[in-house]
Chains A and B, each alone.
Chain A
Amino acid sequence: MSKMRLLLYIFVACLIVIVVRLFFIQILFASSYSVDYTVTEKIEAERGKILDRNLDPLAINQTKYLLYVKPQEMKNKEELVAKIDEALHLGEATIEARINETKEWAAVANSVDKKMKEKIQELSLPGVGFEPQRERFYPEASLAAHLIGFVGKDENGRQLGYFGVEGYYDRDLAGLSGVLKSERDLFGRPIFSGDQEKVAAQDGRTVVLTIDKAVQLIIKKNLKNAVEQYKAKAGCVIAVTPKTMEIVGLSCLPDFDPTTYFDSSEDVFIDWAISSGYEPGSTFKPLVMAAAINEDLFEPNDIYNESGPVEVGGYSIQNWNDKYDGKIDIARILEKSSNVGMTYVGGKLGKEKLYKYLKNYGFGDYTNIDLQGESTAELRPIESWYAIDTATHSFGQGISVTAIQLVRAFSSIINGGYLMRPYIVKAVVDDTGTKVREPQIQRQVIDKRTSAIMRKMLVSTVAHAEAKWDIPKGFTFGGKTGTAQIALGGKYDTSKTIASFIGFAPADDPKFLVLVVLREPGVSSWGSETAAPLFFEIAKELLVYYNIPPDH
């Protein structure tokens, strides 16, 4: 056999070995071998930002790190535990319990920030590693906590928005994850001639809110001061543009920091401006008055004889101060917040029409505000009304409303009669462009003439109110106070009230409408002594901020 022939046999033998081996790898056991070099990576989508109306950020993303330990690689467990505890202060027992030595990998701490990560990395601890985690960051902390909500995890550990805008617009904000499938060599480098398959991630949309963070700060600062000053259990302020029902500010206390939401109790997550019903008290009276005027039952100058308490369905209805002025005009009923006067107005309107208007104002229904967790409160069906209900509903007792329902209804009586859908997101931005949301009229509740009359009556109500307030000079305000007792176990507790004030300015062409609600103020139970001063403090700053000139 020649040397050349021997060489040929050797080559052929090698070739056969390679072909057989390839047959095993590529045909017979293809599935088990493919994972070795085909790497599939999830490309996380960036969660969309939340911006205020001036495009200042209210929610962005940040990177934190998951600290993990590979127990097989660590050398001295005690030393490792002690050093991690020195940096993170989690407690040695906690860290030790988390390092399960029977496993290959153990998560030790979540949300480790960059500085801390670098500090631990400097220790060069064998077996310790970090994995980046994308988290939400709220630069304004708790400034608009209830409006924005927060991002937590679902049952599968995926990010999920809860409450507020984060909850309502979760699908828009979350985006869609992508996938990268690529063939890699032993060192993890992509094989250039191998298969590469990429489905790009679609980042979440950015949402632009109607909120102005400066207005939000004005509201929150004053609300915080008032809650402390009046020793109230809670408080809430909503500011809107009455013509469009854009929410420009909403703050409720107590609140929470959405970045560290897990440090707060679950009770504070609920935005009671949209989720909890309460009896509105006298702030409800203008709505019933507007209905009666719209039905041409009265003119503001018509005379009513306020002779004393009235009996309805076996109950005696009195004024808040038990004072009665005899012959007064209809406008004066609102000025002095007369319960017996409103009983008369409600009686003239009648049960059916009163119910029809309450439904038209949107009570008992969702306002469809774009925030997660809205409730309808309760408007009992007309069939279950007793005789006393027509009377009590006329002055805002015996009916439950949410703050946002009241603001929407009140806006309708000063904006020309239009019931608008309240909204918080002004625009949604993605790669394809910007989708701008326009104000949406739901229906006309009262006519323009009635609306003009109501604005004048509400201006007169502020000007001739029983209480005197520190009203900014040169400006005309309209508004109404409210003090509603809280029903507990079927009875009203006179010591516990919800004090409120709803007002607007400038009176002729309102730029803002603000509702102030204080729950169980300890210093005084009256809306005129707690909520109203808070309203004027806020209004004073809003006038400056909006650069509204005095009108007289």
Chain B
Amino acid sequence: MKLPVNKIFSALCIVLVVVNIYIFVKGIALGEDVSFYEKELVRLRQENIEVEQNIYTLESITKTASMAATLEFGNYNEPIFIDKPQYALKNK
């Protein structure tokens, strides 16, 4: 039986063209994904820095001290202090 070489060659060419187009389109889609994740990574990193900054600003002892002063919380209204050593001796 004579092989239909021309037909097989044509079919192979069509398959190769389709695969090539598929890889090309897939490559673009993956490139877009990489680009998206790159941007997302930058955004998350940025957000992380901003959140960290806000947390540490709120947690700072300088801010706490300033709030304590505003609320008039100081040594004079602390119930146990060094001027009353009997409290400390009790725990010795």
Contacts and interface: CB of A to CB of B under 8 A. Distances in A.
Given A190-B35, A550-B85, 18 more contacts: A56-B61, A60-B53, A132-B46, A137-B53, A139-B59, A140-B60, A143-B61, A143-B62, A188-B35, A189-B32, A192-B28, A192-B31, A192-B34, A193-B27, A217-B61, A221-B65, A474-B85, A549-B89
Contacts of A472: 82-83, 85
B56 A60 contact: yes
B85 A473 contact: yes
Contact of A544 (B27, B32, B62, B82): B82
Contact of A190 (B34, B61, B81, B92): B34
Contacts of A192: 26-28, 30-31, 34
Nearest to B47: A63
Interface in A531-552: 540-541, 543-544, 549-550
Interface in A454-481: 472-474
Contacts of B28: 185, 189, 192
A139 B56 contact: yes
A510 to B, nearest CB: 18
Given A473-B83, A473-B85, A550-B85, A217 B59 contact: no
B59 A56 contact: yes
Contacts of B32: 189
Interface of A: 56-57, 60-63, 114, 132, 137, 139-141, 143, 185, 188-193, 213-214, 217, 221, 472-474, 540-541, 543-544, 549-550
B82 A543 contact: yes
A163 B50 CA distance: 26
Nearest to A541: B82
A141 B62 contact: yes
Contacts of A214: 61
B50 A63 contact: yes
B49 interface: yes
B50 to A, nearest CB: 7
Interface of B: 23, 26-28, 30-32, 34-35, 46, 49-50, 52-53, 56-57, 59-62, 65, 81-83, 85, 88-89, 91-92
Listed residue (B26, B59, B61) with the most chain A CB atoms within 10 angstroms of its CB:
B61
B62 A217 contact: yes
Contacts of A189: 28, 31-32, 34-35
B41 to A, nearest CB: 11
27 contacts: A60-B52, A60-B53, A62-B50, A63-B49, A63-B50, A114-B50, A139-B56, A139-B59, A139-B60, A141-B60, A141-B62, A185-B28, A185-B31, A189-B28, A190-B31, A190-B34, A191-B27, A192-B27, A192-B28, A472-B83, A473-B83, A543-B82, A544-B81, A549-B92, A550-B88, A550-B89, A550-B92
A544 B88 CA distance: 9
- Please indicate which of the listed interface residues B34, B62, B91 has the most CB atoms of chain A within 10 Å of its own CB: B62
A472 B81 CA distance: 10
A394 to B, nearest CB: 36
A57 B55 CA distance: 11
B7 to A, nearest CB: 16
Nearest to B63: A139
Nearest to A543: B82
Contacts of B57: 139
B20 to A, nearest CB: 11
